[in-house]
Each structure stands twice: as C-alpha cells, then as structure tokens.
Structure 1
Amino acid sequence: MNGIAGGLGGKQMKDWGNAKFIRSTTVTILLLTLLSTAATCQTAVQEFRISDLTRTTASEPGLKECLREGQRILGENAEVLKCGFLNQADVLESVAALKRPPFRVGDRSIVSRLVILRKEPSGWRTALNVSREIQNGAGFLGIDYLDDASPYWGYSVLIENHRADGKPALVLSLAYMANENDMSEVPVDITWNPAVHRYQEFSLNYEPFGFKPEIKNPPHKP
C-alpha cells in the first residue's frame, strides 16, 4: 500500500480519519455561526425607505401602517420622517411630524408637532410627544421649568444614527425655535433607553453623563 495509507496502521488511520472529521465539523459549525450572526445583525433593526412613501401610496405594509397611524394622531397633513423596526426587531415605529414654514433651516426640519409611535403587542401607543414641550409617558424631557408666556415657534429636528457616545441608535436632535428661523437653545438629544423602556434625553455635556430622568412636575416660569 503506497502513500499515507501505506504508512499508517489501522489505529493511526482511524485517528487520522477522526481528526479530519472533527476539523470538517468544526469548520461547518463556525460557518453556520457566522451566517446566523450576520442574519441576526441584518434583521435586528430594519428601516423602510421614506422615498417609497407618498401621502396616498406606500410600497411596504409597514410604511402604510406608519403613515396611517401618523395621520390618525396628527391629521392628514402628517409626514413620516422615519419608519421601521428602529430599536427592536419586533416593534414597528413611526416618527411622524407636522412641518411648518420655512420647513428647513440648513439640514434641520422645522416642525410644529412630532410624535414617535410604537406598535407593541397591546397595539399602537405614543412613546414621545413633541409640541410646546417634549414628553414621554413618564414626564417632561430637556427642561427645568415650563414657560407658558413665550410664543411657540416649533422645533428644528435632525434625525441621527449615533448617540453622543458613538453607539448606533436612533437619535432625535431637537432645538426650540426662538423665532421663525432661528434656534434659541442647544439641541436636546432624545433616544431610546432599553433599561427603562422609553425615550429619554441623552447627554455627555453635564454630569451625570448618559440618560437623564424625566421631570414629572416641573415648576412654571415666574
């Protein structure tokens, strides 16, 4: 017998065959693990293209739901700014808004009202409401007091894909408008906090760094 087989006894042949089988099985498992991981990464968050959306038609069922719910809350003039499984793979979310003139300042949209709606197992609910103030279901965000006297010009909003600490996330950068064209304050970043299951302010500008708790009953400005 020539070659490798000729130089190996019965036990050696068996051991060599077992080792070959183990190596092959290991490679197969590694490949399956990589494919599974890649699939998970691709499907964990899915965003629909807003370019596929008009006020009357949508190419994806998810887009139709986002538009329908946005218009149910804000009226027929509502526009969808973002739609998809934005934070969780099993929760559809719609970022809908009412824009106002001049509609844009630089790369920021001007809105008089904005909501984030989440389709959870119990149904659709409003997770964030932006009108004169920014509120989630637990309180007010990004303020120290309520100002009832100043005129309301809306907010400028920029939707970003990373938090201030660099972590990938849906982030709404919201800045109160001082007048029709100018922002009055440093923008407030709002993003999803999975630990408390709601949207909160996130900042690295002052301690404690990170997510900021809501204010449940802010005082009114004198």
Structure 2
Amino acid sequence: MIVSMKRMNAILMKDFKDFSRNLYVSTVLILPIGLAALYGRTGVNSIESQFMLINLAFVMIATFIQCCLIAEEKEKNTLRGLMLSPASTAEILGGKSLLTFILTMFVVVVTAYLSDYRPANISVIFTAFFLSTFFYIALGTLLGLFSKSVLEASIIVMPVFAIFSLGSFLPMIIDQYPILKIGMYLPNVQLIELATKVEAGAGFVDVLLELFIILAWTIFIFLLTRIIYQKKMVD
C-alpha cells in the first residue's frame, strides 16, 4: 500500500486552518508551558513533579487536541466524507495526526526545558517522548471517534487527565494502596521509571523494558483505534 504524502499534507493544512480558528482548543497550548514557567521559578526539581507537567503536556496536547480535531470533523459531518474519499485509512489517520504530533513534540520539549528538566541521556528520553507521543495521539483519536462534538470531547478526556497527569505521583503512594500496583504499568508511570533510571546513568539497554511497555501500549491503542475507525466506516 502506497501512502500519498500529498493527501496527508492536504489534511494537515485543513487541520491547521481549523485549529487556528478555534481559540478554545488552540489556547490549550499555553497552559502546560505557563505552568512549567511558573514551576521553574520554584526551584523544586523532583522527577515526579517535572513529569507531572510533562505528562500533562502529553495529555493536553496529544490527546485533547487530537480528540477535538476528530470530534470537530464529526460535528461538522465531514469525517464521513473523509472516510468515503479515495484516501486510505493510513492517510486519513496519519494526516489527522501530523499537526498534533508537531504541536506535542514542541510543547513537551518547551515544558521540559522551562521546568528545568535536563536529562542525563537526551537520546533515550527523546525516544521515550517519541513513543509516548504516538500513544497519546492514538488515545486521542480513539476518544474522538466516540465524541459527537468538541464539547463532548472536552468532557470525555477528563478521566484521562486524572490518570495520566496526576497519576505521575502513583509511585509515591503505592505502598499505602497496594491495589494500585497495576497502575505501575501505565505508560506515564513507565516514563517516570525510565527517566529515574536515566538520571542514575542508565542507557538504552537498561531501559528496554520500560520502552517495550510504552511501545506495547502504543500498538494496542493503535490497533483498537483502527478497529473502531473501520467499524465507524460501515455503521
């Protein structure tokens, strides 16, 4: 199957125009960056606190914006047109994800910098950020397919905010609530585990397990999203 970059670029340009016109969605970019700037002035530099902001940036940009982009297509009744167009599933989902991917990587890097996070091994952390971006975008796409409007998308992502941002403090309370141990395998917690190992001098080989778990989550959510998307095509 040949993926047409021209079609994906056309979808990207359309999303950029829609995104720039929707102030409700586009102003979300400011929040994680603003919080990181305020946090950087406090002088506190714990991994848990820094990655609460980084994971918040992932959720607010990759998941929320992607969810809103998909939901807006449904609200305007244009998603069906895309599904029935000559563009393939890969071209549509890829094109719908390009803008979110660019914005997410930019905001996450700026958030990390402003919160004074300076990783000991940039290549390992960048790889983890790269994989995490795909996970959160796939999650946002999945939620968007279940949303009928941008307003509904804003509500449906609320549990995700709680789990993947505030959940960054899960390792600190795990001893008090053993039942939460299953949450240690969530991608946001694995990202913190990976970052902690990196600060202790770990390289790629030492964090392969954490990278594999994040990759497994990404593949699982992507496959689930593809199944739901194809089901929506024949509904």
TM-score of the two chains, using structure 2 as the length reference: 0.27
Query: Between Structure 1 and Structure 2, which shows a larger proportion of strand residues?
Result: 1
Query: Between Structure 1 and Structure 2, which shows a larger proportion of helix residues?
Result: 2
Q: Report the structure number with the largest CA radius of gyration.
A: 1
Higher relative contact order structure (alpha carbons within 8 Å, sequence separation ≥ 6): 2
TM-score of the two chains, using structure 1 as the length reference: 0.29
